[in-house]
Amino acid sequence: MAWGPILHVEDERWFHQQVRSWMPEAEWSWVGSLPEAREALLRQSFEIILLDRHVGAEDGISLLPELASLAPGAVCIMVSSDEDGEGIREAIDAGAKDYLIKSSDMGLDLRLRIQIAMKTRQDERLIQSRTRSSGASESSGWIGSSSATRSLKEKARKVAAVDAPILITGESGTGKEVFAQEVHRLRGDPKRPFVAVNCGAIPESMFESELFGHRKGAFTGAFQHKEGLVRIADGGDLFLDEIGDLPLSQQVKMLRFLQDGTFTPVGSGRMESAKVRVMAATHRNLEQEVAGGRFREDLLFRLDVYRVHTTPLRERREDIAELSRFFVTRLGGSRKKISREALALLEKQEWKGNVRELSSVIQRALIEAGEDDLRPGHFRFGGVLPISVRQARVPLALNEINGKRYRQFLEHHEKEYLLAALKLLDGDTLRLAEYLELSRATVYNRFQKLGLKPGRKNHE
């Protein structure tokens, strides 16, 4: 695999040197602070960002929301010595694609995760290029057949043909941008631009310049003219993600543009115009934001012409199996499979992070599974995998070859086998013994040694 440019944000240079030694063929750049990271991302494009959780006195998570504008399309992997379930969830929710526990022997694990991240990015680019080239002939990228998903698809078809503003509400990770992209796709015009803006990721001082552009010399560092995102979206769709995070000082400028389609680039005395259909999304209750004085009521009226609410994953569990198979194939390849028991386990989870969390959990499970198909023991939720399960895998490095790990591997997989078999036999331990060609006493002894409870069926 060809490695694209990787930015390593890490305040301890010795650790960066160690990471570089694990992947010497990659194109590495190193910075030791978050301000240096921002400068590097403005100067150069990166495929992967390896971000330490603690960079000096700063929390690396604070950089994640900015990456949508600083490094669109880059994949961020957070690295930390903290095995903190809440911290992992916070990082994934903020935009990290993976979370790796820092250690001196994580080289092979890091390589695998970067390979998966690179493959995911390549797949997304391929899908996007096919969509652009084929226009309306490309089938929907939506996954799921629940009544809630079917309803959203129908609403997308209704509003695709008109340019009325759309307000999309719903929890983080429920597919608000997916809905906007579907509306754009159904328009059927491959030349019509689609521009996405994360309103919460752009610094307040830079928002006007990013949206409306600036002229050379308008401020320190403005060395040339820059077209704003509104101009780039002219004739197409402008998606304003997290509109509820837009500062009040910028809301009035957005309102002015929505009223008549005109704007003035920073440093210019000439008014310009652009025709775009605005689709805005938020996880916030904008009515409550208006009541609290944090969001302009007149801006809400302008945005809220047609409202759509995306349903959380826990309320459309019928989609989980289909989504899971899709992610397994996309991230692990067409030969990779997921067991029925694993799907049943996934369907029982609460998925507070919704589809984004499901994708991350499956990505981690693929790493744990190695060459195997996915089984329940490969999954972890809201935290790190228990040590006993992490070690119950084939050795990935020489230091993992020892008697203890070998016994853990045998015990873990024997447990999984016996539990799955007993479930298929409706808890009948006698029939299990017959199938295994063992005495019932032997099967009971194995259950006792492994800490399992035999089935409750009795035979007279």
Least confident of 171-185, 198-212, 239-253, 404-418: 404-418
Instruction: Report strand pairing: 48-52 vs 54-55.
Output: unpaired
Query: Residues 323, 191, 157, 121: what is their CA dihedral angle, to the nearest 10 degrees?
Result: 10
- For residue 311, count CB atoms less than 10 angstroms from its CB and return exposed for 0-12, middle for 13-18, buried for 19 or more: buried
Token pair of 215, please?
A: 């002229």
Beta bridge partners of 196: 239
pLDDT band at 182 (very low <50, low <70, confident <90, very high): very high
Least confident of 244-248, 285-289, 378-382, 392-396: 392-396
- Which residues, other chains included, contact 158 with Cβ-Cβ below 8 Å and sequence gap of 6+? none
- 408 pLDDT more than 90: no
Confidence at residue 384, expressed as pLDDT on a 0 to 100 scale: 46
- The confidence score (pLDDT) of residue 199 equals 85
Whether the pLDDT of residue 407 is over 80: the answer is no
Of the candidates 386, 374, 399, 384, the one whose C-alpha atom is nearest the C-alpha of residue 78 is: 384
- As a whole number of angstroms, the distance between CA 344 and CA 324 comes to 11
**In the prediction, which pLDDT does 75 show?**
85
Q: Which one, of 288, 276, 187, lies nearest residue 240 by Cα?
A: 276
What are residue 8's DSSP bridge partners? 30, 50
Query: What helix, strand, coil percent values describe the chain, rounded to 5?
Result: 50, 15, 35
The predicted pLDDT at position 119 comes to: 64
The dihedral sign for the CA sequence 379, 384, 387, 390: positive
Q: Who wins on pLDDT, 25 or 141?
A: 25
What's the pLDDT at 385? Answer: 46
User: Distance between CA atoms of 422 and 403, rounded to whole angstroms?
Assistant: 28
Residue type, 377: G
237 pLDDT above the threshold of 60: yes
Predicted confidence (pLDDT) at residue 318 exceeds the cutoff of 90: yes
Q: Which residue has the tokens 């769709």?
A: 237
All domains of the chain in start order, with CATH: 5-129 (3.40.50.2300), 147-313 (3.40.50.300)
pLDDT at 144: 87
What is the total residue count of the chain?
460
Scanning the structure block, which residue is given the tokens 């490095």?
397
Could you report the per-residue pLDDT of 384-405, keeping only the tens digit for each?
A: 444 444 555 566 556 666 777 6
Per-chain mean pLDDT for the chain:
82
What is the sign of the dihedral through the CA atoms of 12, 14, 18 and 24? positive
Between CA 374 and CA 397 the distance in angstroms is: 21
Identify the three-state secondary structure at position 113: helix
Of 122-126, 171-175, 276-280, 316-320, least confident by mean pLDDT is 122-126
pLDDT in tens, 272-291: 999 999 999 999 999 999 99
Residue among 400, 398, 399 nearest 408 (CA): 400
Render pLDDT for 192-210 as a digit per residue (tens, 0 to 9).
Answer: 899 888 887 777 878 888 8
**C-alpha to C-alpha distance for 305 and 456, rounded to whole angstroms:** 59
Residue 52 CA, chain-centre distance (Å), reads 18
Q: Which of 45, 43, 58, 49 is nearest to 19 (CA)?
A: 49
Please tell me the predicted confidence (pLDDT) of residue 324.
94
Please tell me the distance from the alpha carbon of residue 289 to that of residue 244, in angstroms, as a whole number.
8
Choice between 249 and 73, residue whose per-residue pLDDT is larger: 249
Instruction: Give the position of tokens 């989870």.
Output: 349
- C-alpha of 102 from chain center: 21
The mean-pLDDT minimum among 65-69, 147-151, 329-333, 400-404 falls in: 400-404
| pLDDT range class, residue 130, cuts 50, 70, 90 | very low
**Of 96, 107, 94, the residue nearest 74 (C-alpha):** 96
CA 388/CA 409 separation, integer angstroms? 9
Average pLDDT (61-90) is: 77
**DSSP codes joined into one string, 234-291:** TTSEEEEETGGGS-HHHHHHHHHHHHHSEE--BT--S-EE---EEEEEESS-HHHHHH
> CA–CA separation, 26 vs 249, rounded Å?
43
By DSSP bridging, strand 75-80 and strand 98-101 are parallel
Average pLDDT of span 333-349: 90
Distance CA 282, CA 308 (A): 11
Buried b or exposed e, range 192-206, using 16+ CB within 10 angstroms: eebbbbbbbbbeeee
The Cα 31–Cα 328 span in angstroms is 34
How many Å apart are CA 75 and CA 48, to the nearest integer? 5
Rounded to whole angstroms, the Cα distance separating 150 from 162 reads 20
Residue with tokens 């002219």: 234
